[in-house]
């Protein structure tokens, strides 16, 4: 990447990081904290933990579309202000209902899609994949850091202090956005990074993408439901309060990463993605049933938690890759936007349903329901088609010349390694789905240049 592109990617990844850190820090300590709030019940605790996913899932696509009209930075700053207000409401609340209201506001600052759109504005087609990867790595890293840091920080300043920390982090995000993130010269609609409303119907009818959307929905529903009961389980079996449980999460996460890396290498390099995928879902299901029937044995509990995070981390790395491989080349942004919304709605359902089941059937019921959801996911995943292992490539057309879009797309599809091609003349871009082992980028670029030369 060019220096300016690297600056854009790094600073926007930092904005993502400061927002997600606080949200994830709450997970391992909130169930214990909520018991001291007036009006708290297991159901309302689950609602408070998961409800930010509802407002986030419903508003992230509208936020992105609005940013096309009023500006990216304006929407990012506005979203961070809303997030900060929600964090302050939660910090000041002594009742569970007040925390629920604060969590709704936190989710309403749905800036994820806007960050990706701004990143696309600030990077060239050639560098965008690397820039998006930087943001993706940041999201994964923030989750793992937060699970360890959350209990430690709660031990120092309390859970209300974490909410106040979120306010400070939001202010830091605003400062980064205003003073470090470059300002784009032109706002464009990027089909590889943004949701296009006209394409949503086709994406929602794509069965392979629906399978992946169900997967991320189920994964985060299981995660949220599990954190309603795992902290109390660790307290009962290991005599660790929620603020000391980082001593469990740290080694578990390290082991999960040590397993995840070779699993992803096998999946991608040796093209065993479906095998790794189905195996990981089976591991997730096994972990939940182990917790449902063996929670009285500390060895079973630790083994099950480790298995869960192995499966979780493999899925977190695999699912976005599968979405980009499966989506039509000119609709990758739309597919990713819907996928992300499914993730947040899964967080909401996991909190609400997990809280209700916890209240009515206890912790064993929560794990049994999560295991049932994982088995349903396993059935859905078993019927998936093997992924194509194709990647998306963008070729910019000469802005000053017109081309015959359909004719050029047909010729591009005839090139070795090109599986799909769509030319959007109004955007001066050709979107390709290619096999990187046989695709010749220089030959494709020459074909595009020749087509433009015939249409001065």
Q: Which domains does the chain have, with CATH numbers?
A: 1-190 (1.20.1250.20), 203-389 (1.20.1250.20), 391-453 (3.30.70.100)
CB-CB neighbours of 438 under 10 Å: 10
Fill in the DSSP letter of residue 434: E
401 pLDDT exceeds 70? no
Q: Interhelix angle for 42-70 vs 112-121, to 10°?
A: 30
Task: Report how far residue 167's alpha carbon sits from residue 286's, in angstroms, rounded to the nearest whole number.
Answer: 39
Give Cα 126 distance to the centre of its chain. Answer: 23
Share of the chain above pLDDT 70, in %: 98
pLDDT of residue 428: 81
The 3-class SS string of 292-324 reads HHHCCCHHHHHHHHHHHHHHHHHHHHHHHHHHH
What 3-state class would DSSP assign to 260?
helix
Most confident of 17-26, 164-173, 259-268, 410-419: 164-173
Closest CA to 16 of 145, 127, 192, 154: 145
Q: What pLDDT band is residue 398 in, cutting at 50, 70 and 90?
A: confident
Give Cα 361 distance to the centre of its chain. Answer: 30
- Identify whether the C-beta of residue 226 lies closer than 8 Å to the C-beta of residue 295: no
pLDDT of residue 348: 97
Phi, psi of 359 (to 5 degrees): -70, -35
| Top-confidence residue, 246 or 133 | 246
Task: Report how far residue 111's alpha carbon sits from residue 183's, in angstroms, rounded to the nearest whole number.
Answer: 17
Share of the chain above pLDDT 90, in %: 70
Average pLDDT over residues 307-317: 95
Residue 433 parent element (H or E) = strand 429-434
pLDDT of residue 192: 83
What 3-state class would DSSP assign to 432?
strand
Q: What pLDDT band is residue 312 in, cutting at 50, 70 and 90?
A: very high
Q: What pLDDT band is residue 186 in, cutting at 50, 70 and 90?
A: confident
258-309 pLDDT, tens digit each: 999 999 999 988 889 999 999 999 999 999 999 999 988 999 999 999 999 9
Look at the pTM and tell me if it is higher than 0.85: yes
Q: What pLDDT band is residue 402 in, cutting at 50, 70 and 90?
A: low
Task: Report how far residue 12's alpha carbon sits from residue 9's, in angstroms, rounded to the nearest whole number.
Answer: 5
399 pLDDT exceeds 70? no
What 3-state class would DSSP assign to 184?
coil
Task: Report how far residue 63's alpha carbon sits from residue 423's, in angstroms, rounded to the nearest whole number.
Answer: 27
The beta-carbon contacts of 377-381 under 8 Å, at least 24 apart in sequence, are 377/214, 377/215, 377/218, 377/219, 377/281, 377/284, 377/285, 378/278, 378/281, 378/282, 378/285, 380/211, 380/214, 380/215, 381/211, 381/215, 381/277, 381/278, 381/281
Task: Report how far residue 217's alpha carbon sits from residue 353's, in angstroms, rounded to the nearest whole number.
Answer: 13
- Identify whether the C-beta of residue 243 lies closer than 8 Å to the C-beta of residue 154: yes
CB-CB neighbours of 129 under 10 Å: 15
Give Cα 63 distance to the centre of its chain. Answer: 16
Task: Report how far residue 148's alpha carbon sits from residue 32's, in angstroms, rounded to the nearest whole number.
Answer: 16
Strand 391-396 relative to strand 418-424, pairing: unpaired
Tokens, residue 157: 């300043």
pLDDT of residue 133: 85
Q: Residues 85, 159, 44, 244: what is their CA dihedral angle, to the nearest 10 degrees?
A: 150
Strand partners, 108: none
Tokens, residue 409: 């797309």
Strand 429-434 relative to strand 391-396, pairing: antiparallel
Task: Report how far residue 79's alpha carbon sits from residue 354's, in angstroms, rounded to the nearest whole number.
Answer: 28
456 pLDDT exceeds 60? no
pLDDT of residue 455: 63
Closest CA to 23 of 170, 243, 241, 133: 170
- Identify whether the C-beta of residue 240 lies closer than 8 Å to the C-beta of residue 297: no
DSSP 335-397: HHHHHHHHHHHHHHHHHHHHHHHHHHHHHHHHHHHHHHHHHHHHHHHHTPPPP---EEEEEEP
- Half-sphere exposure of residue 301: CA atoms within 13 angstroms, side-chain side: 19
């Amino acid at each position: 990447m060019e220096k300016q592109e690297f600056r854009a990617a790094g600073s926007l990844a930092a904005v993502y990081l400061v927002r997600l850190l606080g949200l994830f820090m709450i997970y391992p300590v909130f169930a214990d904290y909520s018991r001291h709030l007036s009006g708290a019940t297991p159901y309302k605790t689950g609602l408070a933990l998961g409800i930010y996913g509802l407002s986030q899932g419903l508003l992230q696509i509208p936020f992105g579309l609005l940013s096309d009209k009023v500006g990216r930075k304006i929407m990012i700053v506005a979203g961070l202000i809303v997030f900060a207000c929600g964090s302050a409401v939660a910090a000041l609340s002594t009742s569970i209902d007040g925390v629920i209201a604060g969590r709704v506001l936190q989710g309403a600052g749905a800036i994820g899609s806007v960050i990706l759109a701004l990143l696309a504005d600030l990077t060239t087609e050639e560098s965008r994949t690397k820039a998006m990867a930087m943001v993706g790595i940041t999201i994964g890293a923030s989750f793992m850091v937060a699970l360890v840091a959350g209990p430690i920080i709660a031990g120092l300043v309390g859970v209300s202090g974490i909410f106040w920390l979120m306010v400070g982090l939001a202010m830091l995000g605003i400062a980064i956005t205003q003073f470090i993130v470059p300002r784009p010269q032109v706002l464009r609609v990027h089909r590889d990074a943004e949701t296009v409303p006209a394409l949503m119907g086709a994406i929602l009818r794509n069965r392979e993408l629906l399978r992946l959307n169900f997967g991320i929905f189920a994964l985060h529903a299981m995660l949220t439901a599990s954190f309603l009961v795992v902290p109390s389980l660790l307290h009962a079996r290991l005599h660790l309060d929620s603020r000391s449980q980082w001593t469990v999460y740290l080694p578990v996460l390290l082991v999960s990463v040590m397993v995840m890396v070779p699993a992803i290498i096998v999946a991608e390099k040796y093209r065993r993605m479906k095998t790794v995928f189905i195996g990981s879902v089976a591991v997730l299901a096994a972990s939940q049933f182990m917790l449902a029937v063996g929670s009285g044995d500390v060895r079973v509990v630790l083994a099950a938690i480790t298995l869960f995070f192995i499966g979780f981390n493999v899925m977190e790395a695999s699912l976005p890759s599968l979405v980009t491989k499966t989506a039509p080349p000119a609709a990758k942004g739309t597919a990713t936007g819907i996928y992300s919304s499914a993730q947040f709605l899964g967080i909401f359902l996991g909190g609400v349903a997990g809280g209700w089941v916890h209240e009515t059937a206890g912790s064993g019921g929560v794990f049994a329901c999560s295991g049932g959801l994982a088995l349903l996911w396993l059935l859905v995943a078993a019927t998936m088609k093997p992924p194509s292992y194709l990647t998306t490539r963008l070729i910019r057309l000469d802005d000053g010349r017109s081309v015959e879009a359909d004719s050029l797309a047909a010729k591009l599809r005839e090139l070795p390694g090109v599986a799909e091609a769509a030319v959007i003349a109004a955007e001066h871009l050709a979107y390709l789905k290619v096999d990187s082992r046989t695709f010749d980028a220089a030959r494709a670029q020459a074909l595009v240049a020749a087509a433009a030369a015939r249409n001065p």
